[in-house]
Amino acid sequence: MSGIQRVTPKVTFSLASAKKVDLLEREFLKLPQVDCPVVHRFGPGIYIREVTVPAGAYAIGHAQRFEHLNVFLKGRVIVINEDGSRSELVAPMTFVGKPGRKVGYVVEDMVWQNVYATTETDVAKLEAMFLDKSDGWKAHAAANAVPLLPFESDRSDYASVLTEFGFTEEVARAQAENEADQTPFPLGSYKVAVAPSPIEGKGLFATAAIDAGEVIAPARIGGKRTPAGRYTNHSAAPNAVMVMREGGDIDLVALRQIKGCAGGQFGEEITINYRDALRLQIKKD
């Protein structure tokens, strides 16, 4: 293992090197992707993006747009520097990361946190704010998007739900899009993100594995819908359910294990049966 050094990382890539990293990424994306759960943690004025990568994996990070705090909580990683040399990073360590990308081999299971100063809690907006995703990654994500056809039965069953409960499509959509009864997630840690859905519009997706019976997120707080209450789509075979708590607040709870991120791609879409949710709301009212 000659040429490996234990140092504080100073990894930034020139334009030429960045193009080589992009090419390497395209080749890596052709290979099977490992599970790499991402947990989103929010505190007052702070967002922490925590990723876990298993030993034996090669990892190429998205390009960071700004300097920010990095907290390497667990593991050992060999980072490839711009000049081709290698640096060994051993947790725990904290440092200010430069803009750009990191490329490395995970020797021991890794837990890495990127820490950003912000009050934003929308993951899609946060990623657009702090990360630059390569054209190769975007092309891979588009090519691997879930096709719409397998979810035709869910869309058909949704139409049946509207008929059963006496809603028109227009009324249902107006209620769903009503911003007056929406509220952000409270501060805390979440394994979900809102993203385009093959079922309908936007949906709620797992970014880390979720166990059966686990509370995924609050869905309704003080009479207002969180992103979990707003964006969780309907399915005839759901993997989650709405559960009312004492006081009338509602949590979104997993019915079975739900798969999280793999290779940077979101995991399963989280779904409920709207019949159960509507009955719960009627009971509450």
Q: Give the pLDDT confidence of 95-133 residue by residue, as tens digits.
A: 998 898 888 999 999 999 999 999 999 999 999 999 999
Provide mean pLDDT across the span 141-162.
83
Provide mean pLDDT across the span 204-226.
97
Provide mean pLDDT across the span 34-43.
96
pLDDT at 7 (0 to 100)? 41
Distances (CA, A) of 242 to 16, 148, 232, 239: 51, 25, 10, 11
pTM, full prediction: 0.89
Please name the residues in contact with 220: beta carbons below 8 A apart, sequence gap of 6 or more.
226, 229, 249, 250
31 vs 88, more confident: 88
Express each pLDDT in 152-172 by its tens digit: 899 999 999 999 999 999 999
Mean pLDDT of the chain: 89
Domains parsed from the chain with CATH numbers = 4-143 (2.60.120.10), 149-284 (2.170.270.10)
What's the rounded Cα separation, in Å, for the pair 36 and 112?
11
Express each pLDDT in 53-86 by its tens digit: 999 999 988 889 999 999 999 999 998 876 778 8
